[in-house]
Every structure is written in structure tokens, then in C-alpha cells.
């Protein structure tokens, strides 16, 4: 029996408070896909306290398969809602970008196989995310030395993908119950990008081997990466990773030595970036 219907039901059960929905401004990013314009939804939370004199971090959250669609609401489940409702996260004032994957995947690398990012364009949904990050990086109220990426399940794969393409953009990455391409290990190892990966050892949806594969490859390449295997935990490792004793305090403590240089208009490339 396939576990995916169970996963979709599990991921669809969390409701979004009305005040959270109001706090996140809706928008769409337009890109060209196969010669035609395509739009991809996102929500953005912008703290009132942010200013050019006192810039705040940007958190990019990549949702799981259960939040896929175009309603521009479901992707606010979990971390985006927690950032505004749970005390251990509310104290970290930050911009939060919550894009929505309309179809396909965040990453061309999935649990169905390994493969390489070489010569592969980012998926259309990821291209929209990259474009939006480029736009937001020009906002002087955002601290470009504190841009973070995290995601769960399908978004865990997406977090690894985005980190490998642009390791020079981010201060830290927290992938949860996903996996990445071992072919990107050298890029990530050389970048010294702080990464803390979480995965439940009883995960029956995305096998923990997909996390172990990329973590071990980075270490074999001479890099350092945090990796927590949650004993007895299934697919919902995000409950611990985003909880009071998870990885968020560590994530917000990370800062790049210099602000990331993110150009507004640059041709999309497929292979992971080393620049």
C-alpha cells in the first residue's frame, strides 16, 4: 500500500489562523516556462520593526507535498504559522517568504532516485523562488547576512537543492526529512555553509537513507554538516526540528561574515553555483 495518500491526509490536517493569513501578504512571481509566462504564488510576512537602519533576517520556507497547489494559503501551515504564534519563534523577528509549489517538485532530485544537478535547470517552482529571493535581497530592510532556508519533506529536498545552487546566499540551511544529490557534496563542502539536517529514523515516507547519502557525501568531501536522527520518529520530524528544542535557535544564531551579493537580474542556470 502506498504511503503517499496517508502523507497527504496528515499534511492537510492543520488549519491556518485567520490573523496569520492576514499577516502574510499574498503575491505572485512570473517567470517564463517553455516560452510562455507562468505565475507562482507566495506569501510574505514583513515585520513592522524592519528598517534599513535595523535590517532583519529573511527565512525561506519550502513546504511539503500536502501543501502543493495554487490557493496561496496551504503553504502557511507549520513554520510560517509558528513564527507568529509560538513564543520560542515569535521572539525572532524576521521576514518570512512562503512560496507555493504548484505542481511537480521543488527539486529535480527526489526520493525516487539519486542523480545529479549537472545540466539540470531548477524546476519551474524553484525558478520562481530564486527570482523572488533576488528581488527581496534588494530590500534594504532585509539583512543579507542572515538569509535562511528550511523545508520539510518535498521542501527538505528543495532546501538541499537551493543550498547547492546558491551556497553563497545563505547563512544557514535546515532541511527536514528530505535528501539531496551526492553530486553536490563537493560544492556544499567547499562552501562551508552551515547545515543542520533532521530526519526521523522511522520515516516510512522518505527513507532516512536519502538524508544519510548527502550527509555522508559532504563529510567524505571534507565538509561539516549537522545531522540529527530522531529515534522512533516517523515522517513528522518537523515537530521537533521547529519545536523549542530543535534547530531554530541555532539557525537564527548563524550569520554570514559579509552580506550575500545577490544580483537582481541574472540568467537562470541549471548546475549548482560555486560563486
Q: What is the pLDDT of residues 219-253, one digit of tens each?
A: 999 999 999 999 999 999 999 999 999 999 999 99
> What residue segments make up the domains of the chain, in order of their start?
4-45+55-110+118-253
Band of residue 14 on the pLDDT scale cut at 50, 70, 90: low
Of the candidate ranges 103-117, 148-162, 247-261, the one whose mean pLDDT is the lowest: 103-117
Residue 131 C-alpha cell reads as: 527570482
Topology (CATH) of 4-45+55-110+118-253 = Rossmann fold (3.40.50)
The whole-angstrom separation of Cα 130 and Cα 67 is: 19
pLDDT of residue 103: 83
Average pLDDT over residues 152-177: 97
The DSSP secondary-structure symbol of 121 reads P
Greater confidence (31 vs 115) lies with 31
Mean pLDDT of the chain: 90
Starting from the edge strand earliest in sequence, which strands make up the sheet with 142-152, in order? Answer: 25-33, 36-45, 95-99, 56-62, 142-152, 172-176, 196-200, 226-230
User: Checking DSSP bridges between strand 95-99 and strand 56-62, what pairing results, if any?
Assistant: parallel
The DSSP secondary-structure symbol of 232 reads T
pLDDT of residue 15: 82
The pTM of the full predicted model, rounded to 2 decimals, is: 0.90
Neighbouring-strand partners of residue 64:
none
Residue in 105, 109, 129 with CA at minimum distance from that of residue 31: 129
Amino acid at each position: 500500500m502506498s504511503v503517499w495518500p496517508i502523507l497527504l491526509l496528515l499534511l492537510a490536517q492543520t488549519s491556518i489562523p485567520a490573523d496569520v493569513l492576514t499577516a502574510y501578504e499574498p503575491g505572485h512571481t512570473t517567470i517564463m516556462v517553455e516560452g510562455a509566462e507562468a505565475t507562482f504564488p507566495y506569501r510574505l510576512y514583513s515585520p513592522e520593526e524592519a528598517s534599513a537602519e535595523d535590517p532583519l533576517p529573511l527565512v525561506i520556507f519550502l513546504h511539503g507535498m500536502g501543501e502543493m497547489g495554487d490557493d496561496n494559503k496551504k503553504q502557511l501551515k507549520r513554520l510560517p504559522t509558528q513564527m507568529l504564534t509560538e513564543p520560542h519563534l515569535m521572539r525572532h523577528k524576521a521576514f518570512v517568504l512562503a512560496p507555493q509549489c504548484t505542481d511537480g517538485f521543488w527539486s529535480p532530485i527526489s526520493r525516487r532516485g539519486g542523480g545529479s544537478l549537472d545540466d539540470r535547470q531548477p524546476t519551474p517552482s524553484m525558478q520562481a523562488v530564486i527570482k523572488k529571493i533576488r528581488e527581496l535581497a534588494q530590500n534594504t530592510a532585509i539583512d543579507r547576512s542572515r538569509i535562511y532556508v528550511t523545508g520539510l519533506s518535498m521542501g527538505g529536498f528543495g532546501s538541499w537543492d537551493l543550498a547547492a545552487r546558491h551556497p553563497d546566499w545563505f547563512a544557514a540551511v535546515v532541511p527536514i526529512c528530505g535528501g539531496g544529490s551526492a553530486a553536490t557534496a563537493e560544492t556544499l563542502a567547499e562552501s562551508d555553509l552551515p547545515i543542520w539536517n533532521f530526519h526521523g529514523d522511522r520515516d516510512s515516507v522518505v527513507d532516512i537513507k536519502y538524508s544519510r547519502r548527502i550527509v555522508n557525501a559532504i563529510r567524505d568531501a571534507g565538509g561539516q554538516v549537522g545531522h540529527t536522527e530522531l529515534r522512533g520518529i516517523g515522517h513528522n520530524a518537523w515537530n521537533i526540528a521547529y519545536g523549542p528544542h530543535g534547530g531554530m535557535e541555532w539557525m537564527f544564531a548563524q550569520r554570514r561574515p559579509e552580506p550575500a551579493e545577490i544580483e537582481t537580474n541574472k540568467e537562470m542556470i541549471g548546475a549548482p553555483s560555486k560563486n
